[in-house]
Amino acid sequence: MKHLELAERLSRISEPQTIKMAKLSRELKAQGIDIVDLSIGEPDFDTPAHIREAAKKAIDEGFTHYTPVAGIADLRAAVVKKLQRDNNLEYLPEQIVVSTGAKQSIANAVLSVINPGDEVIIPTPYWVTYSELVKLCQGKVVFVPCGIENKFKITPAQLKAAITPKTKLFMFSSPCNPTGSVYSKEELKALADVFAKHPGIYVLADEIYEYINYVGKHESIAQFEGMKDRTIIINGLSKGFAMTGWRLGYLAAPPAVAKAAENIQSQFTSATCSITQKAAVAALNGPKDSADEMLAEFTKRRAFVFEQMSQMPGLKLINPDGAFYMFPDVSSFFGKSYDGEVVNNADDLCMYLLHKANVTFVTGSAFQQPNAIRISYAASMEKLQEGMKRLKAGLEKLA
Ligand code: PMP
């Protein structure tokens, strides 16, 4: 007798811990419990007014129909202009594919290049979605653990050692989620030098946090000789323009990859929302003041959170150069307990802090770094003050 069964591929992927934590936190809030949620990776700012206006205009003018799969012409042109202006990179509009978020762009890219058995190198800690997409495509994930001593960044020697004849793709983010680390121009050049000896490897450079950089100008690995022909740049509007809910991402890639991504997307979602695309044109072509204001605010919050956590005994942390996360090592608390409840790992610590201190973080195990937890400071100063107070009190109770 035949039973109803789900597809085998589901057994290969898991629900992101980031989303799980946010869900748990919402459930407790719904029960009336006051939770400070520092688990979410999204700016708490409103989308700037001129972008909202462009969307309203699109609705009023009836710009509410299907668009070309890869995006409307003025948006692809705006992305080309942005890459030229901000990154000094020359692309043609047909190399740009707009999607419903950087996440879909990454999915488009992985589906476009990975065959079963292909190896994909991912330095860890890393953003969870990368490996899950590779597994969906039956690729083989090759994790390269990167420690706090090199600010969680992969070295050229580590990269070289991880490459095999089966390596097809290298995936990384800079600025990085979850660590906040930023690769310098020199560091990227050194990695590009390794790739130069291996022409069959694509590089997926996730640059979604480009504008949230505290140490200077963003650098793209695509700028080095030969790299543009193999690099798939991922970017979007979620973080830099506070537009997470609008769903707008894009990739810039070699023509064959862009064409493949467009084909794949045409079967999944067609194009992203027409109204969002008009808003995105306004965002990319418009003033950058609001992005600068957000960065100024993140700079203050980062200083506050870093100062607070530096004073909490047992936390080992570095002050990250980008994004809006702190990623302290919490292993000194493992083995401690409260009320008979032992904290054995970062998962336990996050659950303990959620239930006993009513503050949420994401366990580092979600990012392949079991000794850390991730704190998002994309929250108001009031929330951060309360969150830090609760964290400190929670940690002090462990003995
Ligand atoms: N890449 C990284 C590293 C991220 O942190 C996120 C969002 N958490 C994304 C991609 C996805 O962004 P989007 O909202 O554009 O899908």
pLDDT (0 to 100) of residue 24: 87
Structure tokens at 211: 């504008």
- Residue 249 main-chain phi, psi, to 5 deg: -135, 170
pLDDT (0 to 100) of residue 40: 87
For ligand 1, is residue 43 a contact (CB within 6 Å)? no
Query: How far is the centre of ligand 1, averaged over its atoms, from the C-alpha of 27 (Å)?
Result: 23
**What is the β-pairing status of strands 119-124 and 140-145?**
parallel
pLDDT (0 to 100) of residue 216: 87
Query: How far is the centre of ligand 1, averaged over its atoms, from the C-alpha of 240 (Å)?
Result: 11
Are 305 and 384 within 8 A, CB to CB?
A: yes
Task: Match 């109770």 to its residue by tokens.
Answer: 397
For ligand 1, is residue 173 a contact (CB within 6 Å)? yes
pLDDT (0 to 100) of residue 230: 98
**What is the mean pLDDT, run by run of 10 residues, along the chain of 399 residues?**
90 79 87 93 92 98 98 98 98 98 98 98 96 96 94 97 98 98 98 97 98 95 98 97 97 98 97 98 94 95 98 96 97 95 94 95 94 96 97 96
Pocket test for ligand 1, best of 179, 213, 239 (most atoms within 8 A of CB): 239
As a whole number of angstroms, the distance between CA 205 and CA 251 comes to 10
- DSSP character at residue 259: H
Q: Which amino acid is at 344?
A: N
Query: How far is the centre of ligand 1, averaged over its atoms, from the C-alpha of 330 (Å)?
Result: 25
Q: Which amino acid is at 142?
A: V
Torsion of CA 215, 218, 219, 223, to 10 degrees: -160
ipTM of the complex: 0.99
For ligand 1, is residue 244 a contact (CB within 6 Å)? yes
Query: Max CA-CA distance within the chain?
Result: 64
pLDDT (0 to 100) of residue 15: 76
As a whole number of angstroms, the distance between CA 157 and CA 115 comes to 26
Domains detected in the chain: 8-46+290-397 (3.90.1150.10), 63-285 (3.40.640.10)
